[in-house]
Structure 1
């Protein structure tokens, strides 16, 4: 007997769950979900069965005939939550009645004033990596794939969407002020892909397989932004084979959603920050679409193998971008990824274990070590394999890999065995050991570094900026010498950047030093108005520099951003920058978090609290 996952109580000696039927009553006043989960196991079983829970009140457990079953809910583990032991007697299915906590880690409840429409309350879930257990008791490991059905009882005006097929809306037998929306997911998924959202939600059709859902004030802009979804699906199918989930619908979330996107099958959740009006955010959609094959169809067996989800998907996303936009645009996406990889590896200097692709997360909260490394190092590793064997051969491998392991959860070693069986001489060409099991960037990574004429020009300008930054210690005047050279550089930058799109500016800003002279920051802001950009990648890249540099003129813009969005990709660099800056900047971070934390998802709240705690030591 042993756990099969470092983040789950699920035991290798116990049968896995194959299906869950859920009846959930959503109470927006108390912010509690009352429910019953009926679990069907892969075989009949007698003895203790271990389930994962977090902050759930367990009311009773019972068999199909309604006969009570004995259970024990243990004291909480700091990472895993509370082990629920259910005592079975030759049972293949059983039920658990429960209530969630108002502070359930997967759930965020929003009052009407916190929504875009301001008319109705809103609730949404985010279960990755180990938060499904805070909504219902389950074997909360990606190794335990389940199908499910769900009856969601909500107030009549509230609409529900889920990572499942919508079946019907029916009247309740209790009150005519509420309805029940019924859903079914017939394909087996890991529990972290369970998802629901409920609120003032409407939709527009944008393709034969795609609706864009959002609150009424947002839906038209969202539909415009994602009008190319069907073409993306076709490009992805050309690369990876048929799309197995019937529909590819998109839900634009409230601003507090903590991620850029979440690949929930049939209903992808997206941050509203990707709606820039210029369709520059479609890379996020391409990423979540690619997860339909790598992540949803083939899943990492545990968080130790997270790169199998995200590295493959980032690689796949960029193949879609290349097919749609060409090699020059691909090079810019790769450059953003390369910069991000280097930055993240530096961030983990004190914990190099988490710069490996295959990690050991025993006694580690996966949210604490979440980073871009599995995305970027994993993606560049696959790019390295493609270069080694050739694209046609690698594309054939990808399709065979997906077909072989579809609807399965696997670990890194299973992947490597499959890879080396397909390409027996690959280990003589690629240092697999360094890429997978060693820290940092492998010695042969130069082969995959992005190259293009546009990229070279951007990096040349960024290098020239750094030369000015390194010699300016005081204010820059309009005289000769440094001042004249600086203003000449600004004029050159203004001319050369006239045709730049969002990715060019993002690369330029992210390549600059995080701390610069405030006069240089002021000149950049006065010339380009980065702090009021409608593109969040550009805005946050500059505000991160402003935060690190103690550039007080941008403090109001930083404060506004921290009050406006809950995407952790933006929150973490802004809070980290402020906390590593001037005393005034540190005070701003503490002041804003005290005011804004209620707007953030519980996952984001915990992460930012960790940054604040670390800064006080």
Structure 2
């Protein structure tokens, strides 16, 4: 027997969990969930069954017979730093389901508990983040994208709070009417001042897409199947509704390009600033960073990426994290196709240009470990969070764009639609994709070196830099910066965040402090409300020794926990002089309780690596 995934204890010869019926009592005072899970297998099984866990306390396991019988269990004492601890259950003959009771740890890597002073609404808040292998810290499961589950969820929360989940909302009702299946004792579950929110997810998803949040959450409707949720009151909701007003149109464009939208609703939840990602594509309820609200509707492009996941990633999922490009390369391609229709070809070209620059920088950052510049790297023993990069996104995009250029867009569109309809609600590996490609595009293996693209390191020679007038102009202006020439007021008159980000990404890294401050004096980039601009500028400034920006760097690292910003700022500080290193250590020590556990771990790893 062998694990099905290098990041899971799941045995390939055993049946997967097919359905999880979960009951969660959210104990905000203890930052703990007391829970039960009725788990149903895809086929009968006898004997040992291994599940993934991380920092969970498992109280009991029992059969679903009447009366229930205890099931022997053992939880590994020594946790693997990447995999966590294997939970081994010894099931009776031909078992199809069983019941577990357990509690999460305050240190659960998937959960962030925010106290009232840490929230805009001054009430407690909790959100989950299961990607890539953190669902195991919420409930015992086969925490691999190779497994797909349906689920129901009961959330017992304080009555003044509201809850959302990546599932259909069924009801909000009194705890007395809710069967909690032993999640906690009856007195606790049915305590006064509590309410139960019930959710049902009837389409199968990989466990990392299990998601929920609870807090002072309100909403605004955007369209017949789109709504934006947020905590923080009317001001935040109004800003979010304006920023994402065009989402319903994007869903329609996605359907025209890629086929039916299979998830019924496309709702958005704007999370507190500590959310570690730009967005998380949880079906039916996308989680978003508040930094996506830019005030000019350009944040909708981030939503386009999460929407594109509705077809690539959610509908068809990478089988393991070694095949992650199947999620993100396809989604980046699909995002740009949606943006091209909704916002125009020039906007899509800018997006591609930023991606091209980011890909080249990523290749440079992996020069000492080129394995992770492959589309399909070997990741046994590697924490996916430690090697997260733009390679699967941008090299994956380049691969698909290369195929499109070879066979033409009409033929590629037909191929993509057939691919989606063939593999929807399945998890596949790279080899399956390549077999399907060769079977449906005759002779493609003789026209493109598929093996070089998948297994080769670096950027293949037939990748292509985007070509557009505005992209070339911005790159040309960036090249002139070295000689001291700044862009004129006329040059930047129509620029928004993306143009500035592309300009800053293309500036030479060996510039003088005086040039950096001159640019900032003219355009106030260090004070920008758009964090993509602000962080790109601060990242440029740090190596020049411009200590006048220390205050802005500190504010940024303490106000926003998005890893797109934490990674480059902490890395830049840690690679500089002793003073910058000490600044980074002090800021982290003061800000770490604000960060989500995933972001905290990543920042700590960067600081440890650079001493």
TM-score band w.r.t. shorter chain:
over 0.9
Counterpart position of 1:95: 99
On the 8 A contact 1:53/1:81 being kept in 2, the answer is yes
Alpha-carbon deviation of 1:515? 4.4
The CA distance in 2 between the partners of 1:41 and 1:317, in whole Å, is: 35
Counterpart position of 2:514: 519
On the 8 A contact 2:165/2:285 being kept in 1, the answer is yes
The CA distance in 2 between the partners of 1:497 and 1:85, in whole Å, is: 61
The worse-fitting range, judged by mean Cα deviation, of 511-520 and 299-308 is 511-520
Counterpart position of 1:71: 73
Which of 415, 418, 428 pairs up with 1:397? Answer: 415
Counterpart position of 1:236: 254
Counterpart position of 1:386: 404
Secondary structure, counterpart of 2:296 in structure 1: coil
The CA distance in 2 between the partners of 1:497 and 1:263, in whole Å, is: 33
The CA distance in 2 between the partners of 1:515 and 1:575, in whole Å, is: 19
TM-score by length of 2: 0.96
Alignment partner of 1:109 is 2:113: yes
Deviations 1:294-321 (A, max 9, x none): 0000000000000000000000000001
The worse-fitting range, judged by mean Cα deviation, of 71-80 and 55-64 is 71-80
Alpha-carbon deviation of 1:584? 2.0
The CA distance in 1 between the partners of 2:343 and 2:411, in whole Å, is: 23
The worse-fitting range, judged by mean Cα deviation, of 60-69 and 97-106 is 60-69
Deviations 1:220-265 (A, max 9, x none): 1111100000000000000100000000000001000000000000
Counterpart position of 1:471: none
Alignment partner of 1:210 is 2:226: yes
Secondary structure, counterpart of 1:598 in structure 2: coil
The CA distance in 1 between the partners of 2:497 and 2:273, in whole Å, is: 21
Counterpart position of 1:182: 198
The CA distance in 1 between the partners of 2:216 and 2:50, in whole Å, is: 38
Alignment partner of 1:155 is 2:171: no
Counterpart position of 1:196: 212
Secondary structure, counterpart of 2:462 in structure 1: helix
Secondary structure, counterpart of 1:599 in structure 2: coil
Which of 415, 440, 459 pairs up with 2:433? Answer: 415
Counterpart position of 1:549: 544
Secondary structure, counterpart of 2:132 in structure 1: coil
The CA distance in 1 between the partners of 2:80 and 2:571, in whole Å, is: 28
Deviations 1:504-524 (A, max 9, x none): 111110111334211111111
Alignment partner of 1:597 is 2:592: yes
On the 8 A contact 1:547/1:558 being kept in 2, the answer is no
The CA distance in 1 between the partners of 2:38 and 2:566, in whole Å, is: 38
On the 8 A contact 1:549/1:581 being kept in 2, the answer is no
Which of 468, 489, 498 pairs up with 2:493? Answer: 498
Which of 259, 282, 286 pairs up with 2:304? Answer: 286
The CA distance in 2 between the partners of 1:91 and 1:204, in whole Å, is: 45
TM-score by length of 1: 0.95
Deviations 1:316-370 (A, max 9, x none): 0000010112211211110000000001111111111110001110111111111
Secondary structure, counterpart of 1:444 in structure 2: coil
The CA distance in 2 between the partners of 1:221 and 1:187, in whole Å, is: 32
Alignment partner of 1:248 is 2:266: yes
Counterpart position of 1:348: 366
Counterpart position of 1:478: none
Alignment partner of 1:436 is 2:454: yes
The worse-fitting range, judged by mean Cα deviation, of 166-175 and 330-339 is 166-175
The worse-fitting range, judged by mean Cα deviation, of 294-303 and 108-117 is 108-117
Alignment partner of 1:304 is 2:322: yes
Counterpart position of 1:143: 146
The worse-fitting range, judged by mean Cα deviation, of 407-416 and 279-288 is 279-288
Secondary structure, counterpart of 1:367 in structure 2: helix
Indicate the RMSD between aligned Cα atoms, in angstroms. 0.9
On the 8 A contact 1:116/1:218 being kept in 2, the answer is no
Counterpart position of 1:368: 386
Counterpart position of 1:225: 243
The CA distance in 2 between the partners of 1:401 and 1:136, in whole Å, is: 32
Q: How many residues align?
A: 592
Alpha-carbon deviation of 1:495? 3.1
Which of 242, 251, 272 pairs up with 2:290? Answer: 272
Secondary structure, counterpart of 1:424 in structure 2: coil
Counterpart position of 2:557: 562
Alpha-carbon deviation of 1:205? 0.3
- In structure 2, the gaps of 5 or more residues are 177-189
The CA distance in 1 between the partners of 2:489 and 2:538, in whole Å, is: 19
Alpha-carbon deviation of 1:493? 3.0
The CA distance in 2 between the partners of 1:580 and 1:516, in whole Å, is: 17
The CA distance in 1 between the partners of 2:608 and 2:204, in whole Å, is: 40
Deviations 1:548-573 (A, max 9, x none): 32211111111000001000001000
Alignment partner of 1:127 is 2:105: no
